[in-house]
Amino acid sequence: MLTNKDLEQIERHGLCLEQIEGQIETFKRGIPYATIVTAASVGNGIEVIGESDQQKLVALFESRKVDLDLVKFVPASGAATRMFRFLHEFLDHFNPETDRLNSYLKKERNKQMAIFIKSLKDFAFVNTVRKKIRENYPEYRHGTKEMRAYLFVNMMLGRKGLNFNSLPKGLIPFHKYTKYSTTAFEEQLYEAAFYASAGDEAFLHFTFAEKHVPFFKAEFEGVKKRVSKKTKTEFHISYSFQKKETDTIAVNLKNEPLRDRDGNLIFRPSGHGALIENLNDVDGDIIFIKNIDNVVTEELVDKTAYYKKVLAGKLLWLQDKVFGYLNMLLNSDYTEESLREIKSFLWNALNIKDIPSTAEAIITILNRPIRICGMVKNTGAPGGGPFWVKDAYGETSLQIVELSQIDLQDEHQKAIASEATHFNPVDIVCGVRDYTGKKFDLTRFTDPFSGFITNKSQDGVPLKALELPGLWNGAMANWNTAFVEVPQITFNPVKTVNDLLTKEHSPTL
């Protein structure tokens, strides 16, 4: 099936024949759905930390952070295209020469467009777009309102204008302050100073698409003086790309390797789960993970940062316990009573329900990376949530599961999914060093049997694509996990441009 030319291409891509054969076998075999046992809820896998204990955890983190290596890890390679979906529909279906804007906006299906037009002055990018229009269309102000609306959207998204459609979400102007506007990238820097900094220094790692690196570098040079002055913090930025060797082969509907018009094999990026390789290259005592678009305005950062410190304090508290127990077990310095205490800790603090009887097996369980995951109450937002999941070996554990991993044709599984009380906002604090201070190899703690097979097309040809286990799904499946309820203020993603009109994205400064 594969030629010598194919083998050379595979090798150049950083892959080997065994990997490709394994991927093709996965396509043939299929990836089984996750078996959810029950939705995690308060008292059943999700902890609610009282205000007094929150303050103790914050104090613990604050007292020790100066001696810790802190890193903020921000997945930032996503394009902004989906933010502007209804604007593309407007460009495709509205003719400014024959259609009437008021009639178009009155239709229910165009409600989002009506909100956008009504709120133009509130967007951070409005003046930049209008300036670009004036440069290209001096008679703009004398045109009909239909033409002005059409030109505004076209100049905002199109290549002849600001080309927002091709920019990463992190570089779209988000917040409009009195004297300046900020991107999500700048807000991530500002926020990091409040919890991911020590000694007036903050270290951030962004995962970009390689083609966007020059734009992010330019943005950093343009804003670092301002944000450093405001926060009295020096920022150190590192970045990485999704590695080529994490790409997966595409196949046709017969599960045969697909080729392009030149006869070359087609490889595709394997989803955000591939970022476990990037995370594995980042070393720190505490790593905060947060998506690029989940930011708030400056006056609200104190509130969101507080809960990051709560999660970080929870991580330190858990690590102290875990490391103490490991030293006790490894030095055979334990009694039957202390062994019962450790087993109780596994059950109550780490949500381990299949507890082994021997000290050696308990050591294996304790000696794993730890993640503390903030969970917000479910508001109907699409995406993953916390569930108790039974794996292929019959063991049950706490996991973050995407809806696409659940067999919604199975009425029982569908019913369990509908009972979810909480949602995953990607608010994660990670401990990736062991009790000796040595960094774990995070690739050893993934679930290779999870992932996604999706139907796509390329040049009009249908294909099947393989995505690796998601970064906070299967890629962290074998970490020790604690879920903690955090308030809604910590979750403010921008899925559509109109989300920028909410109070969390509307500065009063």
pLDDT tens per residue, range 29-78? 898 899 999 999 999 999 999 999 999 999 999 999 999 999 999 999 87
Report residue 106's pLDDT band, with 50, 70 and 90 as the boundaries.
very high
Q: What does pLDDT average to over the chain? A: 93
Question: Which amino acid is present at 294?
Answer: N
pLDDT digits (tens, 9 = 90+) for 411-455: 999 999 999 999 999 999 999 999 999 999 999 999 877 888 888
Residue 283 in this model has a pLDDT that exceeds 90: yes
Q: Considering its fold, how many domains does the chain have in total?
A: 2
Q: Is the per-residue pLDDT at 3 higher than 80?
A: yes
| Whether pLDDT at 459 is above 90 | no
Residue 478: CA count within 13 A, CB half-sphere: 18
The pLDDT of residue 228: 98
204 part of a folded domain? no
Kindly list the distances between the CA atom of residue 363 and the CA atoms of 328, 367, 384, 482, in Å, as whole numbers in the listed order. 10, 6, 30, 18
Residue 141 has pLDDT above 90, yes or no: no
| Residue among 357, 336, 335 at smallest CA distance from 346 | 357
Q: Is 276 helix (H, G, I), strand (E, B) or coil?
A: helix
Q: Is there a domain that residue 176 lies in?
A: no
On whether both 155 and 265 belong to a single domain, the answer is no
Same domain, 285 and 415: yes
pLDDT value at residue 383: 67
Pair 101, 22 in one domain: no
Q: Are residues 307 and 404 in the same domain?
A: yes
**256 and 151 part of one domain:** no
What pLDDT shows up at residue 392?
83
Lowest-pLDDT choice from 27-41, 227-241, 378-392: 378-392
HSE of 180, CA atoms in CB hemisphere, 13 A: 10
Q: Does any domain span residue 187?
A: no
Convert the pLDDT of each residue in 336-348 to its tens digit.
999 999 999 999 9
- Shared domain for 363 and 481, answered yes or no, is yes
The domain boundary, picked from 161, 187, 216, lies at 161
Is 378 in the same domain as 329? yes
Q: Are 289 and 428 in contact (CB under 8 A)?
A: yes
At residue 285 the predicted structure's pLDDT band, cuts being 50, 70 and 90, is very high
Tokens of 324: 């103490």
Last residue of a domain, one of 111, 145, 161: 161
Look at residue 208 and tell me if it is in a domain: no
Same domain, 54 and 91: no
Torsion angle defined by CA atoms of residues 376, 377, 378 and 379, in that order, rounded to the nearest 10 degrees = -100
Share of the chain above pLDDT 70, in %: 99
What is the structure's pLDDT at 381?
Answer: 65
Coil, strand or helix at 72: strand
405 HSE (CA, 13 A, CB side): 24
Q: What is the mean pLDDT of residues 79-96?
A: 93
Domain extent, residue 272, equals: 4-69+242-490
**Three-state DSSP state, 489:** helix
Domain shared by 36 and 154, yes or no: no
Helix 126-136 crosses helix 145-157 at what angle (to 10 degrees)? 100
* Selection from 366, 369, 316 nearest residue 341 by Cα: 366
The yes-or-no verdict on residue 210 having pLDDT over 90 is no
Phi, psi angles (nearest 5°) of residue 246: -95, 0
Q: How far is Cα 114 from Cα 369, in angstroms, rounded to an integer? A: 48
Do 350 and 380 belong together in one domain? yes
Residue pair 435/370 in contact (Cβ under 8 Å)? The answer is no
Q: 49 lies in a domain? A: yes
CB 425 within 8 A of CB 290: no
Average pLDDT over residues 315-342: 96
Q: Is the same domain home to 37 and 137?
A: no
Distance, CA of 393 to CA of 4 (rounded, Å) = 39
* Residue ending a domain, choose from 113, 139, 161: 161
Clarify whether residues 380 and 260 are in a common domain. yes
Contacts of 378 (CB under 8 A, 6+ apart): 385, 420, 421, 422, 423
- pLDDT given at position 382: 62
Name the residue among 169, 377, 342 with its Cα closest to residue 333. Answer: 342
